[in-house]
Amino acid sequence: MTPDLMDEGARRQGAQREREVQGRTASGGRAAAAGRPVTAGEVDTTHGRILYLEDVSVSFDGFRAINKLSLDIAPGELRCIIGPNGAGKTTMMDIITGKTRPDEGTVFFGSTIDLLRYTEPEIAQMGIGRKFQKPTVFEQLTVFENLELALKTDKRVTPSVLFRLDSAQADRLAEVLGTIHLAGSENRLAGTLSHGQKQWLEIGMLLMQDPKLLLLDEPVAGMTDEETARTAELFLSLKGRHSLMVVEHDMSFIRTISDIVTVLCEGAVLAQGSLAQVQADERVIEVYLGR
Ligand X SMILES: Nc1ncnc2c1ncn2[C@@H]1O[C@H](COP(=O)(O)OP(=O)(O)OP(=O)(O)O)[C@@H](O)[C@H]1O
In one-letter notation, the amino acid at residue 269 is: V
When binding is defined by CB under 6 A, the residue of 90, 169, 179, 272 that contacts ligand X is 90
Q: How far apart are CA 281 and CA 277, in angstroms?
A: 6
Strands of the sheet containing 104-109, edge to edge, are 63-73, 51-60, 104-109, 113-114
**By CB under 6 A, is residue 83 in contact with ligand X?**
yes
Report in angstroms how near the CB of residue 256 gets to ligand X at its nearest: 20
**By CB under 6 A, is residue 65 in contact with ligand X?**
yes
Which among 127, 167, 165 has a CA at the least distance from the CA of 149?
165
**By CB under 6 A, is residue 67 in contact with ligand X?**
no
**By CB under 6 A, is residue 86 in contact with ligand X?**
yes
Q: How far apart are CA 201 and CA 85, in angstroms?
A: 27
Which among 44, 40, 38, 37 has a CA at the least distance from the CA of 13?
44
**By CB under 6 A, is residue 2 in contact with ligand X?**
no
Q: Which is nearer to ligand X, 88 or 204 (CB)?
A: 88
- Per CB under 6 A, which region of 1-9, 81-89, 230-238, 276-284 contacts ligand X? 81-89
**By CB under 6 A, is residue 88 in contact with ligand X?**
yes
| Torsion sign across C-alpha atoms 261, 265, 268, 269 | negative
Q: How far apart are CA 6 and CA 23, in angstroms?
A: 26
Q: How far apart are CA 219 and CA 202, in angstroms?
A: 10
**By CB under 6 A, is residue 82 in contact with ligand X?**
no
Count of residues in contact with ligand X, rule CB under 6 A: 10
- Per CB under 6 A, which region of 4-12, 86-94, 165-173, 206-214 contacts ligand X? 86-94
| Rg of the Cα atoms in the chain | 19
Which among 279, 252, 265 has a CA at the least distance from the CA of 67?
265
When binding is defined by CB under 6 A, the residue of 5, 35, 41, 60 that contacts ligand X is 60
DSSP 8-state class, residue 158: P
**By CB under 6 A, is residue 89 in contact with ligand X?**
yes
- Per CB under 6 A, which region of 19-27, 78-86, 147-155, 225-233 contacts ligand X? 78-86
Q: Which is nearer to ligand X, 180 or 268 (CB)?
A: 268
Contact positions vs ligand X (CB under 6 A): 60, 65, 83, 85-91
